[in-house]
Structure 1
Amino acid sequence: MKTVTPRSSLSGAILLAKFELKKILFSTRGLVALAAFALVWFLILWYPVKHASVYLFSPDFKQLLSALFGESSVSELFSWKVAEMAILWVAALYLFPLFSIFVTADQFASDKTRGTFRFLTLRANRDTLFFGRVAGYLFIQAILLAFTLFATLLLIAYRDPNLLPSAVGSSLFIFVNIMIVLLPYTALMAILSLYANSARQATIYAILLLAGISIVNGIINYYLPSLSAVLQWIVPGAQLSMMINTHGFSSLPIAAIPLIQAAILLLLGRTYMARIAI
């Protein structure tokens, strides 16, 4: 049997990533998902983001955010130079992980159901298949995020072209940080889609798992608060409330949390992929 070299593994992973992108763009299911994504973000951009300059400096809006996240947790948010980017930052932090659960739920589930999993493993080793799929779905999410940021920049240019230089800098900050946030969610869904028999089942597993861990952590926090402070970092997205009050390089220490989570989940996923029966 021909040995797969690291170089061929890398090129195989890139080919798989391109294939996943084409599958989303040219399949009915993928186009429906993209249409739903576009509709939701159109509403977000057209209402709260478009009128961000009014909302962000409104005393009622400041009071609402302070009540939700704590006054000290959102003080940095009101110092953003471009209000639209500040509102987009909050929306993206919480909505893109939710989208990620639905978008990445079918990394392997359909292949198991259709019986094409064995066919794929005959043409690429399991590491190539696993990391290629994860990379492909990350690439898809990167494109969706880039389009969202580009649409926001168009709104800002329409309101005040002089804000564009600051807005572009903020958009780069948002893009890098949101992609880091999405890493553990994508890795988690890769594992769940290996276990589940359908994308819907993988999504249900993810919701039950994340909700269950959060409930258990809340109970532990009530009885053993010192232990809860450690356990809460196990859950992807535990750092989101802390990230709201960051901008620029101040988010780098917090970014280490999802990177560590993603590394652990990818290692677990690779191990499970190597042992699963086809």
Structure 2
Amino acid sequence: MTPNAPSTFNNMLLIAVFECRKFLFNLRGMIALIAFALVWGMLLLYPIQGASTLLMQPNIKDLIDGLFGNNALNVLFDWPVAEMAIFWCFALYLFPMFSILIAADQFSSDKTRGTLRFYTIRTSKDSLLFGRFLGQILIQGLLILLTILATIALALSRDASLLLPAISSGALVGVNLLIVILPFTAVMTLLSLYASTARQAMVLATILWTVVSIALLILGNESRLFEGLQWLLPGAQLSNMINTNGLNSLAYAPIPLLQTAIALFLGRIYFQRSQL
């Protein structure tokens, strides 16, 4: 560890906390929080609550097997809390999408305004890059925690004896969701360094996921050698994670962790070589 490492780490933490506070107390951040709360409030009160009631019906498993195939979603019936099982299905796809939206403006606006050069005079590029990435993870971690607590409250309103199972299931869901959003946030860190605006970063992300998905689909049909390339795309493991439960979901953790490391490594190289 170099002599500057402690200072870099401290600056990174300060930047992360500042980014979190800026989002929570900024008008734009408050609007995003209100929209987030409304969306998840509607999901919890209607589809999640309704679907969790259906999940407890004795004949619903046969219906799901008929629609999706035998044992396609059989693990959902093994969850100790039905509400958390349905929340898992929604959150596994919605939080990555939300991650792309809120993490798109990590650097683009500052670069356009010219304030990015001002920041790098007072702190290292590494502190700024990893601090802002960590700040985005803190923000999304807070949102994940709030939705999990709301889901636990929903389950307890049905059956108060579900407290401990709901807390244990919620903790595992939270850890898994945090790991899942890491590569999405890291990719947006990289794209926001290149893009001029947050909208451009989101457009680039849409193009990236679309083009790579189509290319991997074509190549995957041509040769089994290319099937492994699908794991380069963040979110490739999500369809496999749907039908998992508890600690079994963590078996897919190395994939997003490796994707995150690659994206941040590329972002660091680009940031260090860029002219601000």
Q: Distance in 2 between matches of 1:95 and 1:166?
A: 24
Find the counterpart in structure 1 of residue 49 from structure 2.
50
Q: Distance in 1 between matches of 2:149 and 2:127?
A: 32
Q: Deviations over 1:39-91 (max 9, x none)?
A: 111111111222343222455686458745x5433111111111000000010
Contact kept in structure 2, 1:234 and 1:261, CA below 8 Å: yes
How high is the sequence identity, in percent, across the aligned residues? Answer: 48
Task: Note the residue ranges of structure 1 that are not aligned, 5 or more in a row.
Answer: none
Q: Deviations over 1:81-110 (max 9, x none)?
A: 110000000101010000000010011011
Secondary structure of the corresponding residue to residue 51 of structure 1 = helix
Find the counterpart in structure 1 of residue 202 from structure 2.
203
Letter in 2 for 1:110: S
Find the counterpart in structure 1 of residue 108 from structure 2.
109
Q: Distance in 2 between matches of 1:71 and 1:27?
A: 49
Secondary structure of the corresponding residue to residue 71 of structure 2 = helix
Find the counterpart in structure 2 of residue 171 from structure 1.
170
Find the counterpart in structure 1 of residue 270 from structure 2.
272
Alignment of 1:136-175 (within 5 A): 136-175=135-174
Q: Distance in 2 between matches of 1:249 and 1:105?
A: 31
Secondary structure of the corresponding residue to residue 260 of structure 2 = helix
Contact kept in structure 1, 2:191 and 2:201, CA below 8 Å: yes
Q: Deviations over 1:245-271 (max 9, x none)?
A: 222221222111111111111111111
Counterpart pick for 1:256 among 254, 257, 260: 254
Q: Deviations over 1:178-231 (max 9, x none)?
A: 00000100100000000000111101100110111111111112322x033211
Contact kept in structure 2, 1:41 and 1:148, CA below 8 Å: yes
Equivalenced residues, count: 274
Alignment of 1:224-263 (within 5 A): 224=223, 226-263=224-261
Q: Distance in 2 between matches of 1:121 and 1:65?
A: 56
Task: Note the residue ranges of structure 2 that are not aligned, 5 or more in a row.
Answer: none
Q: Distance in 2 between matches of 1:243 and 1:183?
A: 16
Q: Distance in 2 between matches of 1:116 and 1:65?
A: 56
TM norm structure 1: 0.94
Letter in 2 for 1:243: M
- Segment drifting more, 185-194 vs 156-165: 156-165
Q: Deviations over 1:117-153 (max 9, x none)?
A: 0000001100000000000000000000000011111
Contact kept in structure 1, 2:219 and 2:227, CA below 8 Å: no
